[in-house]
């Protein structure tokens, strides 16, 4: 029997074309509803695939940006001894057992032995009040005529912030440790807490004791409410050079919690001019807070262990 014209054509079709024709025939036999379901499934599959591809690209771009930031930070650390991603280690920041009231007093005496008056930080005393424990700090035991050293140590132990950090902040903000004739304003705004440059201090935080206790507790608040703030450890953070937006900034990979807290407290990083000036002035776009903290801490409390 001779093959029909249709049978002859089908016999010589390639396997690929045969499969294609089979798909077409199945498509034609499908109901409209089934066609809609098939098209929707295909569209969703394409969208999912494209989404995964885009996420992969973004992840790669982010990892590249992290590497670039870390390389830049290592270069700054080598050249200027300042790593914008790790200003101080967590162990240094949160260890409140490295000093006692006595050792704090000795340190203050040694740093400013030339200052003899009662207004000197090493001779300063203040009446303080008891503060009950809460979710952020342990109880503080107040007293009459407490010395600055006693206040610093007591606050450090209550809130778990290093005495060394509190001393560094006192010097960074108002040079109280080394000042030979400190003013009432220096004590009133000792830690720069809620004391803007263009206005008076918030009465709730004005005064030496309130400044020291308030700043330590503020760090604990930042830590407990980290999601409410713009600087986070373990990720890239854009950090400006100064309050002037046109001065710009860079993305910094913040390596630890302590550094994130310092940026929340003082939200600027030093630019190249500020770092090159060491402890001097840079240019119009320079800020100095975190640079000075790093410099003071490293020179007053040099690290003796690689673990830090």
pLDDT in tens, 132-162: 999 999 999 999 999 999 999 999 999 999 9
pLDDT of 60 over the 70 cut: no
d(CA 177, CA 167): 7
Q: Mean per-residue pLDDT for 272-289?
A: 96
Confidence of residue 16 (pLDDT cuts 50, 70, 90): low
pLDDT of 126 over the 50 cut: yes
- pLDDT value of position 305: 54
- pLDDT value of position 70: 87
User: What are the tokens at 95?
Assistant: 């260890």
Answer left, alpha or beta for residue 205, where phi above 0 means left and psi between -120 and 50 means alpha: alpha
Which residue, chain included where needed, has tokens 């690209």? 57
pLDDT of 27 over the 70 cut: no
Structure pTM? 0.80
pLDDT of 1 over the 70 cut: no
pLDDT of 178 over the 80 cut: yes
Burial 234-251 (b: 16+ CB within 10 A, else e): eebbebbbbeeeebebbe
Nearest CA to 174 out of 156, 193, 158, 157 is that of 193
Return the percentage of the chain with pLDDT > 90, whole number: 71
pLDDT of 53 over the 70 cut: no
Confidence of residue 4 (pLDDT cuts 50, 70, 90): low
CB 266 within 8 A of CB 197: no
d(CA 165, CA 261): 12
CB 21 within 8 A of CB 13: yes
Q: How far is CA 226 from CA 83, 258, 273, in A?
A: 22, 12, 31
Between 1 and 42, the higher pLDDT residue: 42
Beta-strand pair 146-147/235-240: unpaired
DSSP letter (8 states) at residue 197: T
pLDDT of 5 over the 60 cut: no
Between 115 and 30, the higher pLDDT residue: 115
DSSP letter (8 states) at residue 200: P
Return the percentage of the chain with pLDDT > 70, whole number: 81
Q: Which residues pair with 237 in a beta bridge?
A: 252
């Amino acid at each position: 029997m001779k093959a029909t014209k249709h049978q002859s054509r089908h016999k010589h079709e390639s396997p690929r074309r045969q499969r294609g024709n089979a798909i077409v025939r199945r498509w034609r036999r499908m109901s409209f509803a089934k066609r809609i379901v098939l098209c929707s499934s295909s569209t969703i599959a394409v969208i999912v695939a494209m989404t995964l591809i885009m996420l992969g690209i973004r992840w790669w771009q982010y990892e590249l940006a992290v590497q670039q930031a870390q390389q830049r930070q290592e270069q700054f650390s080598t050249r200027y001894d300042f790593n914008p991603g790790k200003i101080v280690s967590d162990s240094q920041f949160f260890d409140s057992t490295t000093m006692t009231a006595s050792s704090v007093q000795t340190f203050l005496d040694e740093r400013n032995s030339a200052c003899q008056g009662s207004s000197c930080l090493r001779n300063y005393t203040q009446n303080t009040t008891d503060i009950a424990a809460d979710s952020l700090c342990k109880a503080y035991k107040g007293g009459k005529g407490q010395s600055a050293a006693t206040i610093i140590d007591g606050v450090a132990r209550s809130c778990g912030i290093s005495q060394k950090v509190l001393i560094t902040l006192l010097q960074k903000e108002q040079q109280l440790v080394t000042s030979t004739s400190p003013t009432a304003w220096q004590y009133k705004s000792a830690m720069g807490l809620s004391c803007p440059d263009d206005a008076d201090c918030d009465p709730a935080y004005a005064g030496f004791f309130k400044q020291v206790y308030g700043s330590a507790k503020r760090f604990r608040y930042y830590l407990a409410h980290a999601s409410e703030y713009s600087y986070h450890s373990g990720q890239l953070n854009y950090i400006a050079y100064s309050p002037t937006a046109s001065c710009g900034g860079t993305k910094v990979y913040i390596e630890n919690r302590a550094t994130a807290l310092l940026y929340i407290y003082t939200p600027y990083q030093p630019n190249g001019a500020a770092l090159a000036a060491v402890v001097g002035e840079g240019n119009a776009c320079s800020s100095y807070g975190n640079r000075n903290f790093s410099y003071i801490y490293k020179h007053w409390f040099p690290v003796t262990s690689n673990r830090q």
